[in-house]
Chain A
Amino acid sequence: MLVEQYGPLKDKMLQIMDQDGIILRPELVPDLEDDTWLELYKVMVKTRCSDEQALLLQRQGRMLTYAPNTGQEAAQVGSAAAMAKTDWLVPAFRELGAWLYRGVDLEKVYLYWYGNERGSQFPEDVRVLPIAVPIASQLQHAVGIAMASSIKGEDDVTVAYVGDGGTSTGDFNEALNFAGVFNAPVVFLIQNNQYAISVPRQRQTKAETLVQKAVAAGIPGVLVDGNDLFAMYAATKEALNRARWGGGPTLIEAYTYRLGAHTTSDDPTKYRQDSEVLQWQEKDPLKRMKAYLIDKGLWSGEQDDSLSERFRQEALEVFRRVEATGETQLEDIFKYHFSEMPAHLREQLEQYKQYLEEVR
């Protein structure tokens, strides 16, 4: 059991592959086909390329605020890939890799960041919640979803994401505590990317690790190299299995790094050293996975280049569609607050439409 070896107070971090793509713990490599790992890697590349394209578009003034994921792709894709199709995914707001893996269209994601709520309307069978902006508030929803699964006698598990800053909130503590008391089938995944906008992890807590917060809630926890796809998959899978078979919640701390800005509206050079960023670039989750796949003869540099090129091109095409169709329809603003539009909203909409007619 990984939680026993890498638990909250063990001062050890689960790592299966090192930063150069060398397998350190062959016995812990999850039992998946080579092709599957390649597929997961491709989702990571798609995430990176979609990110880069969004940033580019934002700089051109075509995309609004955007929260980049670069550097955190393994934490996102590794955890999402361990989930079953009927498991619930409850994101914070920086989980693009997990979303893409779970079947959220890039078009929806871009539409959201383009500023249209339809970007949060996912297909019926995609059990993914929309972005939750108020930090850590989404964890309560994850607990409720998980409690509902056990009340209904269903074996779905819920995976909820939060950042390092989110662990300082009351909601984080309430959620872990609730989940523990009700033995809820939920996995809390902290993407510890070391910064909450500009505030470093050390300003969030005096605790040595974030995963230690599992101890007070009486639930298992595990500290994982968040840039190691194998380790993220393995740790999440174990936590999911435990939850699915009645073992209750787990807290996972994915130790990672946000290589880019918090969002397009901040400048990370103001709050961190270039040397630190360079050090983490060496630990890039894509770099090591690519080295691993090439070393195994499953992939090549040329294939990698052309795949990236293709994803970037696709992302641009997706964005062009969003740009062409992404304006919010007036009625949309009114008609979704309630199952049936109340009289006062109908009246406000009609009056505004009448005004628009008059000034046209």
Chain B
Amino acid sequence: MALMNLISTINHTLDLEMARDSNVVVFGEDVGVEGGVFRATVGLQQKYGDKRCFDTPLAESAIVGAAVGMAINGLRPVAEIQFSGFVYPAYNQIISHVARMRNRTRGRRNLPLVIRMPHGGGIKALEHHSESLDTLLGHIPGLKVVTPSTPYDAKGLLLSAIRDDDPVIFLEPSKIYRAFRQEVPEEEYTIPIGKAKVLKVGTDITVVTWGAYVHEALKADKILQEEGINAEIIDLRTISPLDRDTIIDSVQKTGRFVVIHEAAKSFGPGAELMAIVNEGAFLYLEAPPTRIAGFDVTIPIPRGEHHYFMDAQRMAAGIRNVVRY
């Protein structure tokens, strides 16, 4: 066991898997010599050489498109997109090919590839550095979309993602890259993709969130506990495919549901989750399923972002309203 933060866990996990499987290659902008703008790939080029960890030209479409080709030709590429907001030029590749090649070829060409990127906001960054792509990725048939909220989960999920025979988008909440450290086992272990995790068992309301917001939601829970509200907190961990059973089981027990997410409210991931709750727990509901979500605005740059991103107090207020409905 070692104490690791999220970014050092990502680095440790890539290292572990590159050592185990020589088909794993890691590349993107500044990932080689620099070791990544967040240092996720630091030391990997020195250790594995510039054939297995390398810098690319500044071209996101080609980074993802080349990953498709590498996966077809026997490698397990792990491509880094420097920030989630830079992935848009690669959307043609992601939607048209990454998500479809296996289906298009009726199983002949599967794509064991991972696209990693820092995700979400609250880091006082420039425009395009705080995007939430949950819906913009989760809506695409043929993709798996994963987002860990702790170093421990990040390791298990990233190993699963790299070993998966299908493409996985791995969203790393950049706000918590260095927020805290956690005991992470040195040895390898996997966490299944598509499984949510109940972080705290409760009886009054089901709260589903993911990424950096998990930690604010846990703080909100503390506030609410003092008021006698006992929430069940669920970390979704995988955006697609969604773990419907865990959510429905919980709502059937608590009778109330809120989803908290960074992405804009309209047509957001919360809408999908509420639909699942309606389909699976309608007769158990004591209050309307509710979204506590980003405004339908462009995410403000640093001096305004505190209005957009929520703290525990605001989350607690939203949860309280549903419990008191």
B73: A residues at CB distance < 8 A:
88, 144-145, 148-149, 152
- Given A177-B57, A337-B142, A129:B109 Cβ within 8 A: yes
Q: Is A117 an interface residue (CB 8 A)?
A: yes
User: Chain A interface: which size bin?
Assistant: 35 or more
**C-alpha gap A145/B109 in the complex (Å):** 12
Q: Which of B242-278 contact A (CB under 8 A)?
A: 242, 244-245
Q: Is B321 an interface residue (CB 8 A)?
A: no
Q: Which of B3-11, B60-68, B118-126, B223-231 interfaces with chain A?
A: B60-68
Contact partner of B62 (CB less than 8 A), chosen from A129, A158, A178, is A178
Q: Is the CB of B241 within 8 A of A342?
A: yes
Q: Is A332 an interface residue (CB 8 A)?
A: yes
Determine the residue in chain A with the shortest Cβ distance to B95. Answer: A134
Q: Is the CB of A143 within 8 A of B106?
A: no
Q: Is the CB of B93 within 8 A of A137?
A: yes
Q: Is B33 an interface residue (CB 8 A)?
A: no
A117: B residues at CB distance < 8 A:
103-106
Q: Which of A101-155 contact B (CB under 8 A)?
A: 117-118, 120-122, 124, 129-130, 132-134, 137, 139-152
Q: Is the CB of A140 within 8 A of B244?
A: no
Contact partner of B70 (CB less than 8 A), chosen from A124, A130, A145, A181, is A145
Q: Is A324 an interface residue (CB 8 A)?
A: no
Q: Is B322 an interface residue (CB 8 A)?
A: no
B103: A residues at CB distance < 8 A:
117, 336-337
**C-alpha gap A337/B165 in the complex (Å):** 11
Please list 28 pairs of residues, one from A and one from B, whose beta carbons are closer than 8 Å in the complex, sorted by A's number: A117-B105, A120-B105, A120-B108, A122-B108, A130-B109, A132-B97, A134-B97, A137-B65, A137-B96, A141-B66, A141-B69, A143-B62, A143-B66, A144-B67, A144-B70, A145-B70, A145-B72, A145-B73, A148-B73, A171-B62, A171-B92, A174-B59, A175-B62, A178-B59, A178-B66, A181-B56, A181-B57, A339-B164
Q: Which of B45-103 contact A (CB under 8 A)?
A: 51-52, 56-57, 59, 61-62, 64-75, 77, 89, 92-93, 96-97, 102-103
Nearest-Cβ distance from residue B162 to partner chain A, whole angstroms: 14
Q: Is the CB of A174 within 8 A of B241?
A: no
Q: Is A344 an interface residue (CB 8 A)?
A: yes
B107: A residues at CB distance < 8 A:
121, 335-336
Contact partner of A141 (CB less than 8 A), chosen from B65, B106, B166, B242, is B65
A339: B residues at CB distance < 8 A:
102, 110, 164-166
New A-B contacts (6) at CB < 8 Å, excluding given A121-B107, A140-B93, A146-B69? A137-B65, A141-B68, A144-B68, A145-B72, A145-B73, A171-B62
Q: Is A343 an interface residue (CB 8 A)?
A: yes
Q: Is the CB of A134 within 8 A of B104?
A: no
**C-alpha gap A129/B65 in the complex (Å):** 14
**C-alpha gap A340/B102 in the complex (Å):** 12
Nearest-Cβ distance from residue B69 to partner chain A, whole angstroms: 2
Number of interface residues of B (CB under 8 A): 46
**C-alpha gap A343/B142 in the complex (Å):** 13
Nearest-Cβ distance from residue B240 to partner chain A, whole angstroms: 9
Q: Is the CB of A137 within 8 A of B92?
A: yes
B71: A residues at CB distance < 8 A:
144
**C-alpha gap A143/B165 in the complex (Å):** 21
Q: Is the CB of A343 within 8 A of B241?
A: yes
Nearest-Cβ distance from residue B216 to partner chain A, whole angstroms: 29
A139: B residues at CB distance < 8 A:
65
B67: A residues at CB distance < 8 A:
144
Q: Is the CB of A147 within 8 A of B105?
A: no
**C-alpha gap A117/B102 in the complex (Å):** 11
Q: Is B25 an interface residue (CB 8 A)?
A: yes
- Given A332-B106, A342-B194, A151:B52 Cβ within 8 A: yes
B97: A residues at CB distance < 8 A:
132, 134, 137, 141
User: What are the interface flags for B126-148 relative to A under an 8 Å C-beta threshold, 1 for contact and 0 otherwise?
Assistant: 00000000000000011010000
**C-alpha gap A124/B70 in the complex (Å):** 17
Q: Is the CB of B52 within 8 A of A134?
A: no
User: What are the interface flags for A295-311 relative to B under an 8 Å C-beta threshold, 1 for contact and 0 otherwise?
Assistant: 00000000000000000
**C-alpha gap A147/B57 in the complex (Å):** 14
Determine the residue in chain A with the shortest Cβ distance to B100. Answer: A337
Q: Is A355 an interface residue (CB 8 A)?
A: no
Determine the residue in chain A with the shortest Cβ distance to B112. Answer: A339
Q: Which of A46-96 contact B (CB under 8 A)?
A: 88, 90
**C-alpha gap A73/B100 in the complex (Å):** 29
Interface centre among A139, A149, A158, A338 (most CB of B within 10 A): A338
B65: A residues at CB distance < 8 A:
137, 139-141, 143-144, 171, 174-175
A145: B residues at CB distance < 8 A:
69-70, 72-73
Q: Is the CB of A134 within 8 A of B72?
A: no
Nearest-Cβ distance from residue A357 to partner chain B, whole angstroms: 21
**C-alpha gap A273/B144 in the complex (Å):** 50
**C-alpha gap A145/B165 in the complex (Å):** 17
**C-alpha gap A10/B27 in the complex (Å):** 37
Contact partner of B141 (CB less than 8 A), chosen from A141, A143, A171, A337, is A337
A335: B residues at CB distance < 8 A:
107
Q: Is the CB of B106 within 8 A of A140?
A: no
Determine the residue in chain B with the shortest Cβ distance to A344. Answer: B241
Q: Is the CB of A337 within 8 A of B66?
A: no
User: What are the interface flags for A318-340 relative to B under an 8 Å C-beta threshold, 1 for contact and 0 otherwise?
Assistant: 00000000000000100111110
Q: Is the CB of A151 within 8 A of B57?
A: no
Determine the residue in chain B with the shortest Cβ distance to A175. Answer: B62
B68: A residues at CB distance < 8 A:
140-141, 144
B56: A residues at CB distance < 8 A:
178, 181
Contact partner of A147 (CB less than 8 A), chosen from B66, B110, B165, B245, is B66
**C-alpha gap A338/B57 in the complex (Å):** 31
Q: Is A26 an interface residue (CB 8 A)?
A: no
Contact partner of A120 (CB less than 8 A), chosen from B52, B93, B106, B245, is B106
B108: A residues at CB distance < 8 A:
120-122, 124
Nearest-Cβ distance from residue B25 to partner chain A, whole angstroms: 6
A122: B residues at CB distance < 8 A:
105, 108
Nearest-Cβ distance from residue B31 to partner chain A, whole angstroms: 14
